[in-house]
Structure 1
Amino acid sequence: MSNLHRPTSLRAKPRSTLSSGTVASSLALAISSTFIANVNAEEVRLDSLVVEDNAIQPDSNPYAQPGAVYKAKKLSGSKHSRDIAETPATMTVLTKEAIADSGKTELKDILSAQPGITLGTGEGGNSFGDRYIIRGYEARSDIFTDGLREPGLISRDTFALEQVEISKGPSSTFAGRGSTGGSVNSVTKKASLDDDFTELSGGLGTDDYQRYTLDSNKVINDDLAVRFNVLYSEAGIPARDPADEQRQGALLSGVYQASEDLKVSADYYHYRADDRPDLGTRLVDGKPYKGQGYPGIKNLDFQRSGADTLTLTFDYQLNSETRLENKTRYGKTTNDYVSTTKQASRTTPVTLSNRTFAGWQDNTYVGNQTNLIIDKEIGGKRHTIITGIELAQEKVKGATDAFLATGRSDGNAYNIDFSTNRATKQHSPTTDLTLNTASAYLMDTITLNQDWELFGGLRYDYFEYDLWLAASNGRGGPVPEKTYQYEDGFLNGHLGVVYSPWEDGNIYANVSSSSNINGGEADSAGNCGYGGICTDADGNYSNAKPEQSINLELGTKWNLMDEKLLLTAAVFRITKDDVIEGGNDSYQSGGSLNTGKNRVEGVELGLSGNLTPKLSGQFGIAVMDSETLESFNAENVGLPKANFADESANLQLRYQATPKFAVGGNATYSSEIKGGQPDAGSSGRVSIPGYSVYDVFATYQFNNQFELRANIQNLTDKEYYTAVYRGGSIVYIGDARSANLTLSYKF
């Protein structure tokens, strides 16, 4: 068998690499010595050999630490060759058990509870949908599934996930463009050749909540297995009637062991979300209006998103030291919405008017990734080399509107008749983007000796950008049809070192970089201030350098409690330079190219795993500071970043009171968040207050087949707000108190 992923932590002291022959010889010598030393004894006594059963159950997470339901042992992708405890970077990994206990089923709810992550809102310049901000930087395009980018602002559910991997800090070496503050990789459930199993679950709760899932694995023969996951759910938004949501999804996965060395796997993912969204409330004097908000127009508002994705993977073991992996993905995502809210006049706050956002967007993604993984001794040192190429094409078509009920429209996404509350979709797009990317990378992890490991890597990305914008009626008057075409490339790298003289802990340092391109946020098209393409004052494309980010991090990781508890701590500094700013009016294409610079620095602590044999926990806290260092507008210098929480924390505990009964809870804290334009600094004119929210849960295992789980979200019914944007016309409201019961049956 290959030793490609043999973790450093398994190497006994002294930590030199031991071959199987050396081990066998050592055992033989030890046994012989024992017999020789006792040759005249009447009785030979040997110590008992204890074999710990760490066999993975067929329906368990293959990446988790055995015996520690809240601790992930390793990441799923082949680009990270060491266990999480030995990788020099901040990483938060949520296992499926931790996700299930939390009671959260939306990826945005799970991520927004994590330290260092906040949510952004949609507005006129970018589409509505799940929008993440990691360590103060946009990450809505830095979402991956099983190691491949998954573009599109869509709702994402957890029904088919093994774990969620959050990598912090810039690293285009792993992720390609973007990833300034970090990236998110969702790991899906895969078919298994180990055994047959089926799990059915059904849940009922307040606000007409109902949720049903199926997870079934079937071994066809010794070489072929299939797995099927199904979801149906619907619920009202607590205290926000008529806002509600409906989810339907399926994941079909198969694995075929074609030979001892070749494994072929494939999966097809289908997902649909049909919601009546809630745009929250308005602001009065720069603060959220407390009381009844405006959940939209019942028979008009909707948001429908969907995904259909097919992935094919070949995994070939060339020899004991070399493995070849190839992934191909074809996927389509859709996002359609009409959402209304009430907008207050800045001069007369009591005067309200309807404000409506409407749009549609279709994303098509084709990608291929090939990785060659080599693990061998070179020059007397162990090298784990990962090299590969990645080809991708993203196509985005769509249209967006932001207008008042009585007048102006910026686009033609939908025709809306407010007398009948009906919307008619315009099928002709107003934006059409094609983004082709070709990438090559090389990474190496070198075990220098028993105490030192060195990590390094380089990646080059070449891209071709082609954006067509239809003629429109902008705020400054008619805007003619435009086409923007350009090509460029950028090089990024990372370098890290791990010093581990102790058996259970290490100290590490790393430096990593990332780059993002002009127009890198595909959903924003020609809206410069939202991450779309920026041009000169005349609306013509002018060469802009990619934005550059550098991350410096110093940290420590400790694998305790027989490797069932991981403690982490890190100090970091991210500096983003050559920032492309939105100019004085982000609704226009014209901006200020490579004129900005900002910085985020802070401390992040983490814990995951077993605190005692009965108490499990997942904990994280981030204390950060942000500052605008340079800007096209001198008034921005010194301002903090918008959509940024200086302090955030999350704690989830599970106490196994008896073999059958467990109880636990979740506490989430965020400090004040100020609104404003991304990367331009926040004046603090609009803001949402900090908050603390508490959830509780309990589970009871009747027998090996039946389990009952109860969840209460927002136990104290706290009124809180999760996101604010720009002028404050959108302030999202956190969910009120809700409760549900889920019964699961395994066989």
Structure 2
Amino acid sequence: MLTKDSIEDSGKTELKDILSAQPGITLGTGEGGNSFGDRYIIRGYEARSDVFSDGLRDPGLITRETFALEQVEISKGPSSTFAGRGSTGGAVNTVSKKASMEEDFTSLQGGLGTDDYKRYTIDSNKVITGDSGIRFNGLYSEADTPDRAPAGERRIGALISGVYQPTRNTLLSADYYFFRGEDRTDTGYGLDRQSGEFNKYDYVGQNDLDFQNSEADILTFKVEHNFGRGVTLENKTRFGQTVNEYVVSAYDGRGFFDNNLRSFSGWQENDYLGNQTNLVIDKELFGKRNTIVAGVEMARENVDAGNYSVEASNSFDLDPYDADNGLWQGSVERSDKTSELELKTVSAYLMDTVTLSEDWEVFAGLRYDHFDYALDTAARNGRFGPIPAASYAFSDGFWNGHLGLVYSPWEQGNVYASWSTSSNINGGEADAGTNCGYGGLCTDSEGNYKSADPEQSTNLELGTKWNLMDEQLLLTAAVFRITKDDVIEGGNDSYSSGGSLNTGKNRVEGVELGLSGNLTSKLSGQMGVAIMDSETLESYHPDNIGRPKANFAEKSANVQLRYQATEALAFGGTATYSSEIFGGQPDEGASGNIELPDYTVFDLFATYDFDNDLSLRANLQNVTDEEYYTAVYRGGSIVYLGDARAASLTLSYKF
């Protein structure tokens, strides 16, 4: 779990930057078959659709900010019992700032920094009456990407939340999240897959033609009623609309295309309606303490998607080392929608944690998800000629579960063992359309639907948790093995369309260590290490067997320390390490020719409290100005650059 204070100390303002620094998590890139936007890979498995906010699925592939977050929760391992489809490597849940009936306060922050960095936020809570309150969080931010201008970003956002307690046992709450992002996305460098050399060049997008826009309008209602005697009923409803649209320029960088300029484009509009009802029973039953969660969940996702046509009036064959070559000239036009997806889900689940004795506790859960899938695609040109418009529809359903045991004869610690499963459906990634290799629906070369069984994953985990130093410090350790069966691969029928269905199997196993809390009366922090190994066990092509997974760092670590030197002054730093990352097809085995080197990045911060209300924070990111790469995909044509050195000052005033 990442707290609000640790997030603020880090100086990172985007969820993807915070998560990519965590052990066991890497980033994925956008490319032709999937959208640009926040993409997370947890324990080696895609998690771009496994992002939740306050326990409900967060719709769409968009840019996610931190201005309205209270904390970030990261769960590891397959968890479809809790999250539904996907969640093979884990899931991310963000907890937003909520209205309070306890106190009035207003907190203002203003930040300035290098690369034209400007960031202003407000967080204000007002108690209306003794049983109601309202809270407003607002954001305005803009900055150039360090050393890559005119690449950059501009964001505005707001979260308005309210709470009302009409009776002693009933609580009503609602919130509305608004976000607009206008970015100029930097694709970084190219990578020649034949030589392994990086093709380095300045930002190649043009202000008049390149863009990436994100929009979010999300409304959530929650009703909670306490019946007494340990019985609580809660209902949550969310309606969300998100938009992600972009034209992003990049050099091909793969050697055999002679460094020609190319563009990636797309637009996606996502409408999401979800409702979740949970009955929680926390009481003694049959002589044992039980904590039961029984629930039903219904969701409907509608996704319209298309692209942009880019008409360039100048030459595509340009010098990638010339920063002043006037790259794009021409026009951009948005197409009509090329696909329309409707995905309906009905789920039911039951979980129980039973305290057998002072030393033993057992937990178990079971969930069933049923899907109705409908995808309409427009006529398009395929590899072997024109493909007519088509409609696809199927229904699917599967069971998932978890089972575990906790042994805690010691006052300070425990040992646990768990088993859990997850499932992915054919076409489960809403942004991928019929790009089978990116999680979209699988079709053959003529556009005909190819039926695939759900991909199935199983996780075995053994771990321990210890409260040390008078419960000031928490130590965690876990060893795990995730096995994914019935994997949809690429290969003999084109990775972008058909794929080889249910022919693959792979495994990730490893150990994770964590330490968080107070090391001394003045020194606090959190540390994490992940050491993992991956292997392709079965494949349609024997050459893939034995290869590691792509987009996967076998070793990663993060250490963030804070030292309270005086009552007013505190300082600290962060070190983030990632081992090598290989490119290649997801779930098909890494390509040995496409490799990102390992890296270590250091950040520094310091805070000074002038009094209880006024404070100043300084952040220096990437102190050594390390040039490092955070993600690579498929053929190596996109290699994301980590941010160069940047500095900022933030003044906070609370009253």
* TM-score, length-scaled by structure 2: 0.96
Can you list the C-alpha shifts for 1:338-393, whole angstroms capped at 9, x where unaligned?
01011235347xx3211100110000100000000001111110000000000000
Are residue 187 (structure 1) and residue 95 (structure 2) matched? yes
Q: CA deviation at 1:418?
A: 8.5
CA distance in 2, matches of 1:683, 1:406: 36
CA distance in 1, matches of 2:150, 2:116: 12
Are residue 381 (structure 1) and residue 288 (structure 2) matched? yes
C-alpha contact 2:617 2:649 (8 A) present in aligned 1 = yes
- Over aligned residues, Cα RMSD in angstroms? 1.8
- Does the C-alpha gap of structure 1 residues 740 and 262 become closer, same or farther in structure 2, counting only changes over 3 Å? same
Q: 1:680 aligns with which of 581, 584, 588?
A: 588
- Report which stretch shifted further, 520-529 or 286-295: 286-295
What are structure 2's unaligned runs of at least 5 residues? Answer: 315-325
Are residue 568 (structure 1) and residue 446 (structure 2) matched? no
C-alpha contact 1:286 1:686 (8 A) present in aligned 2 = no
CA distance in 1, matches of 2:333, 2:228: 59
Q: 1:739 aligns with which of 627, 647, 652?
A: 647
Q: CA deviation at 1:538?
A: 4.8
- Does the C-alpha gap of structure 1 residues 711 and 387 become closer, same or farther in structure 2, counting only changes over 3 Å? same
C-alpha contact 2:104 2:127 (8 A) present in aligned 1 = yes
Can you list the C-alpha shifts for 1:529-566, whole angstroms capped at 9, x where unaligned?
11101134653223321110000000000122332321
User: 1:363 — aligned with what?
Assistant: 270
Q: CA deviation at 1:683?
A: 2.2
User: 1:344 — aligned with what?
Assistant: 253
User: 2:562 — aligned with what?
Assistant: 654
- Does the C-alpha gap of structure 1 residues 730 and 345 become closer, same or farther in structure 2, counting only changes over 3 Å? closer
- Does the C-alpha gap of structure 1 residues 738 and 653 become closer, same or farther in structure 2, counting only changes over 3 Å? same
User: 2:323 — aligned with what?
Assistant: none
Q: Which 4+ residue blocks in structure 1 deviate beyond 6 angstroms?
A: 401-404
Secondary structure of the structure 1 residue equivalent to 2:448:
coil
CA distance in 2, matches of 1:167, 1:404: 45
Give the count of matched residue pairs. Answer: 644
User: 1:396 — aligned with what?
Assistant: 303
CA distance in 2, matches of 1:117, 1:102: 17
- Does the C-alpha gap of structure 1 residues 210 and 607 become closer, same or farther in structure 2, counting only changes over 3 Å? same
CA distance in 2, matches of 1:290, 1:649: 28
Secondary structure of the structure 2 residue equivalent to 1:344:
coil
C-alpha contact 1:394 1:435 (8 A) present in aligned 2 = yes
CA distance in 1, matches of 2:197, 2:133: 53
User: 1:89 — aligned with what?
Assistant: none
Secondary structure of the structure 2 residue equivalent to 1:108:
helix
Are residue 716 (structure 1) and residue 624 (structure 2) matched? yes
Q: 1:645 aligns with which of 541, 549, 553?
A: 553
Letter in structure 2 aligned against 1:382: R
CA distance in 1, matches of 2:456, 2:308: 31
CA distance in 1, matches of 2:450, 2:624: 53
Are residue 151 (structure 1) and residue 59 (structure 2) matched? yes
CA distance in 2, matches of 1:585, 1:210: 49
Letter in structure 2 aligned against 1:423: V
CA distance in 2, matches of 1:156, 1:519: 24
Letter in structure 2 aligned against 1:254: G
Q: CA deviation at 1:297?
A: 2.2
Letter in structure 1 aligned against 2:354: I
Letter in structure 2 aligned against 1:693: V
Q: 2:201 aligns with which of 289, 292, 295?
A: 292
User: 2:104 — aligned with what?
Assistant: 196
- Does the C-alpha gap of structure 1 residues 355 and 325 become closer, same or farther in structure 2, counting only changes over 3 Å? same
Can you list the C-alpha shifts for 1:453-476, whole angstroms capped at 9, x where unaligned?
000000000010001111111233
CA distance in 2, matches of 1:546, 1:499: 34
The higher radius of gyration belongs to 1
The equivalences for 1:263-342 within 5 A come to 263-284=171-192, 285-287=194-196, 289=198, 291-342=200-251
Q: CA deviation at 1:160?
A: 0.1
Q: CA deviation at 1:299?
A: 2.3
C-alpha contact 2:140 2:156 (8 A) present in aligned 1 = yes
Q: CA deviation at 1:591?
A: 1.6
Are residue 170 (structure 1) and residue 78 (structure 2) matched? yes
Q: CA deviation at 1:295?
A: 3.5
C-alpha contact 2:199 2:253 (8 A) present in aligned 1 = no
C-alpha contact 2:2 2:71 (8 A) present in aligned 1 = yes
The equivalences for 1:439-518 within 5 A come to 439-518=347-426
CA distance in 1, matches of 2:162, 2:398: 37
C-alpha contact 1:472 1:481 (8 A) present in aligned 2 = yes
Secondary structure of the structure 2 residue equivalent to 1:164:
strand
- Does the C-alpha gap of structure 1 residues 418 and 102 become closer, same or farther in structure 2, counting only changes over 3 Å? closer
Are residue 627 (structure 1) and residue 627 (structure 2) matched? no
User: 1:122 — aligned with what?
Assistant: 30
CA distance in 1, matches of 2:432, 2:494: 11
Q: CA deviation at 1:293?
A: 3.5
Are residue 613 (structure 1) and residue 526 (structure 2) matched? no
Can you list the C-alpha shifts for 1:162-205, whole angstroms capped at 9, x where unaligned?
00000000010000000000000011000011111110000000
C-alpha contact 2:253 2:636 (8 A) present in aligned 1 = no
User: 1:257 — aligned with what?
Assistant: 165
Secondary structure of the structure 1 residue equivalent to 2:497:
coil
CA distance in 2, matches of 1:402, 1:518: 29
CA distance in 2, matches of 1:117, 1:586: 28
Secondary structure of the structure 1 residue equivalent to 2:498:
coil
Letter in structure 2 aligned against 1:465: Y
Secondary structure of the structure 2 residue equivalent to 1:589:
helix
CA distance in 1, matches of 2:207, 2:308: 19
Secondary structure of the structure 2 residue equivalent to 1:635:
helix
CA distance in 1, matches of 2:312, 2:508: 40
Q: CA deviation at 1:595?
A: 0.8
- Does the C-alpha gap of structure 1 residues 145 and 364 become closer, same or farther in structure 2, counting only changes over 3 Å? same
Are residue 704 (structure 1) and residue 612 (structure 2) matched? yes
Are residue 690 (structure 1) and residue 588 (structure 2) matched? no
C-alpha contact 1:357 1:403 (8 A) present in aligned 2 = no
Q: 1:425 aligns with which of 317, 326, 334?
A: 334
CA distance in 1, matches of 2:197, 2:168: 61
Letter in structure 2 aligned against 1:580: I
C-alpha contact 1:209 1:740 (8 A) present in aligned 2 = yes
The equivalences for 1:47-86 within 5 A come to none
Secondary structure of the structure 1 residue equivalent to 2:19:
helix
* TM-score, length-scaled by structure 1: 0.84
Q: CA deviation at 1:581?
A: 1.5
C-alpha contact 1:534 1:592 (8 A) present in aligned 2 = no
User: 2:317 — aligned with what?
Assistant: none
Secondary structure of the structure 1 residue equivalent to 2:426:
coil
Q: CA deviation at 1:583?
A: 3.0
C-alpha contact 1:353 1:404 (8 A) present in aligned 2 = no
C-alpha contact 1:288 1:731 (8 A) present in aligned 2 = no
Letter in structure 2 aligned against 1:176: G
What are structure 1's unaligned runs of at least 5 residues? Answer: 1-92, 408-416
User: 2:320 — aligned with what?
Assistant: none
Secondary structure of the structure 1 residue equivalent to 2:431:
helix
C-alpha contact 2:444 2:493 (8 A) present in aligned 1 = no
User: 1:20 — aligned with what?
Assistant: none
Letter in structure 2 aligned against 1:256: Y
C-alpha contact 1:286 1:728 (8 A) present in aligned 2 = no
